[in-house]
Structure 1
Amino acid sequence: MSKQICLIEDDEIMGETLLVRLTLEGFSCDWYQRGQEALAALKDKNYNLVISDIRLPDISGDTLFRQLREAHAAIPPFIFITGFSDIETAVELLKLGAQDYLTKPFDLDALVEKARAILGEAEAETGVSLGVSPAMRHIEAMLPKLAAGNTSVLITGESGVGKERVALALHRLAHENRPFVAVNCGALTETLLEAELFGYEKGAFTGAQRTKKGVFEQADGGTLFLDEIGDMPLSMQIKVLRSIQERTIVRVGGETAIPVNFRLICATHRDLKAMVEAGEFREDLYYRVTVISLRIPPLRERKEDILWMAHRFLADLSAQHDGEIFVLQPSTERALLDYRWPGNIRELKHALERACVLTEGRALSPDAVFERPARSEIAASNKLSALDDYLAESERKYILDALEKHNWQIQICAAALGISRKNLWQKMRRLNISRE
C-alpha cells in the first residue's frame, strides 16, 4: 500500500506541481488549498506525512499544526514550506515537534528525498529498518527468512557500511533475548585472538589468574559475530573451523571439550574468494561461513539512504544536546547527496556530530558539515584541490583500516604505522576520523 501524504498549498501552480511529482514517485497524495479544509481531513483520515505551506489564505500552517497537536496526542510528521522571512517560525515549529522544513525556492528532488527519509523513520519505529533504498529493502526482506533457520551468514562490504548493524538486526529477529557476542578478528594478535575466541583456564599463561570464557562460550544459545574474518591468521582458521564443525571448544590450557551452540555470522571488507585462490584463506572454512552471503553496498550506491540516515542521526544528536533541534539547509542536503562518502555511514555520522558541536546555529550549512567546501567533490573546481582531496581520502582510508585492524588501540596502531601517538591523533583530527 502506498504512503498517504496530505499536501497543503494554496498556490495552484506549486500545488499541482507537487501533486504530480509526489504521485509519480509512488505516493498517494491529497491536495488541499485551504487550512481549515486540510485540518478537517487530518482529523478524519490517517495520513503518513503532511507537507504544508506556512502561509495559507485562511489559517496559517503554524495555527493548523498547533490546533492539530492540541487535539491529538499523535499526529503525522510535518514538513513545512517557508519563505526566508518565516524561518524563525519554522524553527519554532520544529521545537514543537514538526519534522523538517524547506525554504523557497526548493529542489523537488530534495523534497522527495526528505519525504522518503521521514517515512522510512516512521517505519523504523514499528520494526527493523536498515534503509529506504531498494538494496537495503531487499536485504531487510531476507532477514526474517534467514532468522527462521540457523544457517551461517557472511556479510561483505566496505568499511563503515553497517555490516555489524545488519548482523545485529538478524540476531534480534532470531534470538532477541539471547547474547550477541562480537569480536574483531583483525584487531588482536594471534595469541590474544585465541584466548579471546576459546577462553583460557586459570594458570594457562602468565597473567591468567582466573578461568575466562571465550566468545564461543559467551555466545552459547545466541549469535557469534566474527567481524573481519578475512584478517584472521591461517593458523587460527583451522582451529575455528574445527570448533564450527564439531560445535565444541577447548579452552587455552585446558583439555575438556566444551559443547557450544550458536548462530554464526561473519563479516569482512575483503574478497574471501580471491584470498582462497591466493592461499590466504582456507577453502574449507570459506564454504563453512559463506552458506548465505549478503553484500552491503557502499553509501554512494544507495543515495536514497543518505538523507534518511542523516535525519536519524540528527534526531539522536538533538536529544543529546538538551533538545536543541538541528536541521539541514537545502544546500547541505544537496551536498550530502553529491558527496561520495568513502568512509560510508561512519563518516556521515562523524561529519554530523562534528557539525552539531561546532556550528553556532541550528541549521547546518555545507561548510559546517564538510568543515571546508573544497573537501567534497562539489567544490573540486581545480585540479590541485581534487588531487589534495584524493590524497587526503587515501590517507584517511589507510589509517581507518589500520585502526580497525588494531581495534582502535591508538598506541598499537601508531606503532604499526611507524608514527608517534601524538602524530596519529593529529592526523585523526585533520582527517575527521573517529570511532563509530
Structure 2
Amino acid sequence: MMPAPRLCLIEDDPIMGESLCDRFALERLEHDWFRDIASAGAALRTREYAVVVSDIRLRDGTGDALFESLRAEGVAMPPWLFITAFGAIDRAVGLLKQGAADYITKPFDLDVLVERLQGYLEPMVSDAAGERLGVSPVMRHLAGLLPRLARHATTMLITGESGVGKEVVARELHRLGEDAGAPFVAVNCGGLSESLLEAELFGHEKGAFTGALQRRPGVFEQAHGGTLFLDEIGDMPLAMQVKLLRVLQDRQVTRVGGSSSREVDFRLICATHRDLRAEVQAGRFREDLFYRIHVIHLRIPPLRERRDDIPWLARRFLAEAGGRGGEPVKHLSPQVEQALLTHEWPGNVRELKNAIERACVLSAGDQLMLEALFDDVITGPVEVEGFGSADLHGYLRACERGYIEKALAANEGRITITAEALGISRKNLWERMKRLGIPALEPDKG
C-alpha cells in the first residue's frame, strides 16, 4: 500500500503552529512540524513530502531563502505554499514567479488553507485509493456508482464527447469487478473498415482471406471471462450491427472462414460520442441493438461542465510527466491555473493532458509557463506592460488580451478561424473581445 501523502509545516510561532497541527490532525492530514530553517532543510533534503506550508519570516532565516537554496541544489521540490503578512504580498508574488505554488496572507481562514492543500493532496490520495475519477460533484457521484455496477451490471453504455475519459471509466468498472484478473479487451469500432472490423471482432481461420496466414481468435473470444470494450459503437456499420446483435443474443461466435461456433461470455461496455437515439431515428443505428446495449447508461460530462476537475487532472498529469529526462516535477502557478480554468477544452481530458505534456517540455524550471500551454498559436511569451505594478486580476486580464490579440493577428483577424485555433466558439471569442476591449481587425472576414 502506498503511504499517505505527507505535508511539511515550517512555522516558528508556537501558537500558530499548534493551531495548524490541530487542524491537520482533525483533517487526518499526515504532517511534520519544523520550527527552524535548519531542521526543515535537513528533512526536505532526505524525505518526500507532498506539499510544504512555510512562513516567510522565521527566527533563524526566511522561508523564501530556504526555498531558493533547495532549488539551487537541485532538490526535488514539492509544491510550496507560503504564509505571509499583508505587507509582504509583493514578496510572495515574486516567489510565485520563481516557482512557488501559492501564498496565503495573515490572518487567514483555516478552511481556506485546508481547501487549497486538498487541491494538492487529493490527486495523490485518489491515485493510492484507485477509486476517484475527479473531485467535481458529478464525478464523485459517478465514482460512487461504479462499485455496485461493477458487481451486478453485465451490459453498459457510456456516452460523452471525445476525450472525456470513457475508456478510463470502462477500465475502472473492470478493475472493480469480480473479473478484474480476467482480460480487458478494447477495440475502436470507428477506426477500422467493415472487413477489418469483422476480422477483429470474430477472428479468422488460416486462409480465410488474403493475408490470413494463421488462425487468429477475435476480441469476442479474447474477452471471454472478462470485459469487452467497444469504443465508438455509434460508428459501427449497419451490417456489423446485425452480427453483433446475434452474438449478444446467442453468446456464440464463428470465425471468418470457419464453420464451427464457440461460446463466449463477457461483460460488454460500449461507448460513443454520438446521440444513439438520434442515430436510430436517422436509420444509422439499429433500434434493437440500441435497447440491447442501453441497459445501464452512464454519461461523462465534458470538462466545461466540471471545471473543478481541471486543476485536479492537471496536477495528476504533471505528476505523471514529472522526472522525465531529469527534469524537476513542475507545478501550477495561479496564473496558469486560471488559464486552464477559462479555456473551453473542446478536446476535454485528452486535450488537457496533451497541453500539460507539451507545456512540461517547453517550460524551463519547475513551473509551467503560461505561454507554453497553447503554443499552437503563440510563438513567444506574452508581454504585459506594467506587470510589476499590476494585481493578479489585472495581470491575468492582460495575459488573456495579449493572447487573443496575437491569435487574431496570426489569423489575419478572421474570427471563425481564430476561435477554432483557440478552441472556443465564435460567440465566446466575440464576448471575450468585447469584455477586453479588443476591436475586430477585419469584421467582414468572419
Cα shift at 1:187: 0.3
Q: In structure 1, what is the equivalent of residue 361 of structure 2?
A: 357
- 1:109-129 deviations in whole A, cap 9, x for unaligned? 899466335224213212222
Contact 1:179 1:220 (8 Å CA) reproduced:
yes
Cα shift at 1:149: 1.4
Correspondences of 1:283-294 after superposition (within 5 Å): 283-294=287-298
Q: In structure 2, what is the equivalent of residue 336 of structure 1?
A: 340
Correspondences of 1:193-342 after superposition (within 5 Å): 193-322=197-326, 324-342=328-346
- Mean Cα deviation higher: 354-363 or 153-162: 354-363
Q: How far apart are the structure 2 equivalents of 1:159 and 1:193?
A: 21
- Mean Cα deviation higher: 209-218 or 104-113: 104-113
2:59 is the alignment partner of 1:78: no
Cα distance, 1:79–1:281 mapped onto 2, change above 3 Å:
farther
Q: In structure 1, what is the equivalent of residue 164 of structure 2?
A: 161
Cα shift at 1:88: 2.2
Q: In structure 2, what is the equivalent of residue 434 of structure 1?
A: none
Correspondences of 1:56-75 after superposition (within 5 Å): 59-60=36-37, 63-64=39-40, 66-67=42-43
Cα shift at 1:195: 0.3
Give the TM-score, by structure 2 length.
Answer: 0.71
Letter in 1 for 2:420: L
Contact 2:123 2:316 (8 Å CA) reproduced:
no
Where 2:152 maps in the other structure, the secondary structure is coil
Cα distance, 1:45–1:299 mapped onto 2, change above 3 Å:
closer
Where 1:124 maps in the other structure, the secondary structure is helix
Q: In structure 2, what is the equivalent of residue 48 of structure 1?
A: 29
Q: How far apart are the structure 2 equivalents of 1:81 and 1:90?
A: 16
Cα shift at 1:393: 5.7
Cα shift at 1:227: 0.2
| Long gaps (5+) in structure 1 | 12-31, 397-436
- Mean Cα deviation higher: 229-238 or 100-109: 100-109
Say which of 43, 64, 68 aligns to 1:88.
Answer: 68
- Mean Cα deviation higher: 192-201 or 107-116: 107-116
Cα shift at 1:91: 4.1
Give the TM-score, by structure 1 length.
Answer: 0.73
Q: How far apart are the structure 2 equivalents of 1:381 and 1:359?
A: 21
Say which of 177, 180, 183 aligns to 2:184.
Answer: 180
Contact 1:310 1:348 (8 Å CA) reproduced:
yes
Q: How far apart are the structure 2 equivalents of 1:266 and 1:181?
A: 12
Contact 2:120 2:315 (8 Å CA) reproduced:
yes
Q: In structure 2, what is the equivalent of residue 144 of structure 1?
A: 147
Cα shift at 1:39: 9.5
Contact 2:303 2:349 (8 Å CA) reproduced:
yes
Q: In structure 1, what is the equivalent of residue 420 of structure 2?
A: 391
Where 1:104 maps in the other structure, the secondary structure is helix
Cα distance, 1:300–1:113 mapped onto 2, change above 3 Å:
farther
Cα shift at 1:247: 0.6
- Mean Cα deviation higher: 248-257 or 121-130: 121-130
Cα shift at 1:303: 1.1
- 1:185-231 deviations in whole A, cap 9, x for unaligned? 00000000000000001111111111100000000000000000000
Larger Rg: 2
Letter in 2 for 1:154: L
Q: How far apart are the structure 2 equivalents of 1:332 and 1:159?
A: 24
Letter in 2 for 1:343: G
Q: How far apart are the structure 2 equivalents of 1:239 and 1:302?
A: 38
Where 1:327 maps in the other structure, the secondary structure is coil
Cα distance, 1:166–1:275 mapped onto 2, change above 3 Å:
same
> Aligned residues: percent identity?
47
Q: In structure 1, what is the equivalent of residue 431 of structure 2?
A: none
Contact 1:151 1:263 (8 Å CA) reproduced:
yes
2:122 is the alignment partner of 1:134: no
Contact 2:203 2:218 (8 Å CA) reproduced:
yes
Contact 2:9 2:53 (8 Å CA) reproduced:
no
